[in-house]
Structure 1
Amino acid sequence: MKYNDWFVSTFEKNKNFKKNRIFLFPYAGGGVSSFKNWQDKFENTELICAQYPGRESKISEEPLNNLDKLISTLYDYITPLINEDIPYYFFGHSFGTKVVYELVLKIQKNNLKMPSGIVLSAGKAPCYKEENPIYHLDNVKFLQQLKRFSSIPEELISNMDIMNLFIRMIKADFEMDEKYLKKDIIPINCPIIAFMGSDDKEIRLQELLKWKHYTSKSFNYKIIKGSHMFINTNKDKVVNNIKKFIQGVEDAK
């Protein structure tokens, strides 16, 4: 079900009771399909995924490479959804952690209802900039470097006919991700849990732990077995830790 052009719900229409909502913000190049079958693992929790231009149902639209514009648009579309009388949470993976943080800052600045908690997965704290950017490389070199993230199957990356359909969109996401840097630490008024893959070569533990300075509430972290895309290879563990986090927040009320 599409709430609007930017947010897609996977909640079954015949389920009437929603205890809370989780808004999902994908990694660079990802979309709604990045969270395929996640809804099946949650009871009475509606999952709503952000869908950016240039992919899946919005493939005919021009990709965005300006993070401020992306955040501003997401804010406009999400405002009516978060103002409903349902507790909500944010989950972001990799590039999605930057989107989550900036969006929560905007929500907080405008005195809207804050998330009950946010889950930041495989993302460095905002004060760390990407040390090995790839968005500026030519298409061949870019695709070669893309393999290190393991977010796209090898057979697809090697198929230029297919990749030519998506490479502008993926590069646009990587440009927003890799240019991002915010030196000022502005805490948000909601609890944070941060996830990291045990074998993730794209982030250091101290870059993850720095997130504790970005909240005025509680902070916790979990190391989950896997590399940068552990949300795909160890999905059940990720989901279980999200559920535990939400339950802990609910119990603390």
Structure 2
Amino acid sequence: MSRSWTDVRPGGGEAAGLRLFCFAHAGGGSAFFHPWRKALGPGVDVHPVVLPGRERRAGEAAHTRMGPLVDQLAGELSGRLDLPYALFGHSLGSIVAYETARALLERGLPAPRALLVSGRRGPFVPSSRRPVHLLPEEEFLAEMSQLGGTPPEVLRQRELLRHFLPPLRADHEVNETYLPPRLPGPALTCPVFAFTGDADPLADPHAVAGWREVTSGDFRLRVFAGDHFYLKGAPEEVMAALRSALGGLDTGSSDPRRHLRTVGA
């Protein structure tokens, strides 16, 4: 039996005016965003998304393709749109957040007030990195170690790796087999805020600037000091940028059709 797709803090959203759905990097989980609840304050109801194959959903099979993953996500999140909402994603989570926003629009549901993306090139920017999800284990682990997101104690312990590697590989397969939308369909007119680290080997500022193509609304790019995981531990400079972006959103009622246009139109 599947479990909840979001990590909800009991009573945590009672004073909130905005719900923030958070999507982690490949292999990541909801715990990555737990410090954000205090950092962003009571006005933002932080809802980390828990994908199959990790944390309390470790017994479920992880997705390997974007389409089925996003279809299920949109169905699950559709019941949690009682507040104005925004979506934040880091690395793989950026593209999952983007496609989830498009899927919600396809269903005629309220549009996000903003999309916030981090540590990933824009959807229409080609990858300059070789695919890794089919690499032999030692080569795959070497690639993960270079990125710095996998705890060293996990990489050293084979028993831990036995549980950790399958969803991590599956997440990379989702990312590496993903094709951006080319046919007419919902796109965004809400603001898009893009963030990256100045030493990120996967997402240099020029590639991250490609996110401006997904919306006809405002686009802003912010570069922080750091590598691919510049935001780990909720550093104050990053949290201040998020508070500024979210605090400037219009969270009044609106017709979701105002936020929908057609790709290529």
Q: Is the 8 A contact 2:198 2:204 kept in 1?
A: no
Query: What is the identity, as a one-letter code, of the residue corresponding to 1:174?
Result: H
| Map of 1:37 onto structure 2 | 35
Query: What is the identity, as a one-letter code, of the residue corresponding to 2:140?
Result: F
Distance 1:219 1:68, change over 3 A: same
| Map of 2:125 onto structure 1 | 128
Q: Is the 8 A contact 2:194 2:221 kept in 1?
A: yes
> Taking every aligned residue pair, what percent have the same amino acid on both sides?
23
| Map of 2:226 onto structure 1 | 226
Does structure 1 residue 65 correspond to structure 2 residue 86? no
Whole-angstrom distance in 2 between the partners of 1:122 and 1:15: 27
Partner SS, residue 114 of structure 1: coil
Give the TM-score, by structure 1 length: 0.91
Partner SS, residue 120 of structure 2: coil
Of the two structures, which has the highest relative contact order with CA contacts closer than 8 Å and spacing of 6 or more? Answer: 2
Matches within 5 A, 1:134-173: 134-173=132-171
How many equivalent residue pairs?
A: 247
| Map of 2:86 onto structure 1 | 89
Structure 1 residue 34, shift from structure 2 partner: 1.4
Deviation string, structure 1 residues 162-196 (Cα, Å, up to 9, x no partner): 11111011000011012223163874121100001
Whole-angstrom distance in 2 between the partners of 1:68 and 1:14: 31
| Map of 1:78 onto structure 2 | 77
Query: What is the identity, as a one-letter code, of the residue corresponding to 1:107?
Result: L
Whole-angstrom distance in 1 between the partners of 2:12 and 2:102: 34
Partner SS, residue 119 of structure 1: strand
| Map of 2:109 onto structure 1 | 112
Structure 1 residue 101, shift from structure 2 partner: 1.1
Match of 2:173 among 164, 172, 175: 175
Distance 1:251 1:22, change over 3 A: closer
Structure 1 residue 235, shift from structure 2 partner: 2.7
Query: What is the identity, as a one-letter code, of the residue corresponding to 1:40?
Result: K
Q: Is the 8 A contact 1:114 1:189 kept in 2?
A: no
Partner SS, residue 249 of structure 2: helix
Whole-angstrom distance in 2 between the partners of 1:248 and 1:123: 24
Unpaired segments ≥5 residues, structure 2? 254-265
| Map of 1:8 onto structure 2 | 7
Give the TM-score, by structure 2 length: 0.87
CA RMSD, 1 decimal: 2.0
Distance 1:58 1:183, change over 3 A: closer
Distance 1:16 1:148, change over 3 A: same
| Map of 1:242 onto structure 2 | 242
Q: Is the 8 A contact 1:127 1:184 kept in 2?
A: no
Structure 1 residue 13, shift from structure 2 partner: 2.1
Deviation string, structure 1 residues 119-170 (Cα, Å, up to 9, x no partner): 1011111113432221110112111111121111222212222111110110
Structure 1 residue 249, shift from structure 2 partner: 2.0
Deviation string, structure 1 residues 6-61 (Cα, Å, up to 9, x no partner): 11113x52763221110001100011111132111122211111111111100111
Q: Is the 8 A contact 2:17 2:251 kept in 1?
A: no
Query: What is the identity, as a one-letter code, of the residue corresponding to 1:199?
Result: A
| Map of 2:262 onto structure 1 | none
Whole-angstrom distance in 2 between the partners of 1:14 and 1:207: 36
Partner SS, residue 70 of structure 1: helix
Whole-angstrom distance in 2 between the partners of 1:123 and 1:244: 21
Whole-angstrom distance in 2 between the partners of 1:152 and 1:138: 17
Partner SS, residue 48 of structure 2: strand
Partner SS, residue 116 of structure 2: strand
